[in-house]
Amino acid sequence: MEQSLPLIGDVFPEMTVQTTRGKMKLPGDMKGKWFILFSHPADFTPVCTTEFVAFQKRYDEFRKMNTELIGMSMDQVFSHIKWEEWIKENLDVEIEFPIIADTGKVANTLGLIHPGKGTNTVRAVFFVDPDSTIRAILYYPQELGRNFDEFVRMMKAFQVSDKYKVAMPANWPHNELIGDQVIISPATDVETAQKRKKEYDNFDWWFCYKKI
């Protein structure tokens, strides 16, 4: 039976991987933490280099949110190590998070090889929560570098959403309608709908929001 690709809401597939920080078992070694696994097409390429510097620059911010970072490509671990050295020597940035050296198994399991984009991995991003559940999946083409401030925003939003059981508006925390406020889940019965407009700021009973 052909294995289906993981989807949002699925448990992250179990795998043992070789990284620049030794072997890791995923998602088991990350249990109790959030983690972001992100693939890149190849070491020693300009866009990927800018991305790794961008993630490293935000690593402390992610760690404050109980979040680990894991890079990945189908380069050998020796290439990863040499590339890390080059980044340190030439850009004065030390990459502290592990990078998976994939033989193709991880890429195939996670759907990172897209036929129309060659044989390298696309720029994929997986957000995984402390219960090992996949919460978001993003794919980017090789020619488009990612927005790493958006990943910080997403992680903050997930954690606020989980803590307060609310939803986040577009561009949160700078939404055009309600600013940094959050959205209350719509009522599912008449009685609750009638109460909502009295309990919360709102545009209508189905669009209520509050400050947290």
Shared domain check, 85 and 121:
yes
Tell me if 8 is assigned to some domain.
Answer: no
pLDDT at 1: 38
pTM (two decimals): 0.92
The pLDDT value recorded for residue 116 is: 62
> Given this model, what pLDDT does residue 5 score?
83
CA 84 – CA 175 distance, rounded (Å): 38
Are the C-beta atoms of 94 and 88 separated by less than 8 Å? yes
Query: Which residue shows structure tokens 């794919």?
Result: 139
Question: What local confidence, expressed as pLDDT, does residue 149 receive?
Answer: 97
Q: What pLDDT is recorded for position 63?
A: 98
Q: What is the pLDDT of residue 103?
A: 87
Active-site residue list: 48
| Structural domain boundaries enclosing 182 | 165-212
The total number of residues written for the chain in this structure: 212
| Residues 180, 104 share a domain | no
128 and 172 co-located in one domain? no
Longest CA–CA span in the chain (Å) reads 65
Final residue of a structural domain among 100, 116, 146: 146
Q: Indicate the residue among 116, 146, 176 that finishes a domain.
A: 146
The DSSP code for 185 is P
My answer on whether 128 and 170 are in the same domain is: no
Helix (H) or strand (E) holding 203, with range, is: strand 201-204
Looking at residue 175, the DSSP 8-state letter turns out to be B
| pLDDT number for residue 53 | 98
Regarding whether 142 and 62 lie in a shared domain, the answer is yes
Q: From CA 19, how far away is CA 15, in angstroms rounded?
A: 12
Blockwise average pLDDT, block size 10, the chain, 212 residues: 77 96 97 96 95 98 98 94 98 98 90 67 92 96 92 98 97 98 94 93 96 95
Distance of CA 2 to the CA centre of its chain: 26
**Structural domain count, the chain:** 2
Q: What is the pLDDT of residue 2?
A: 46
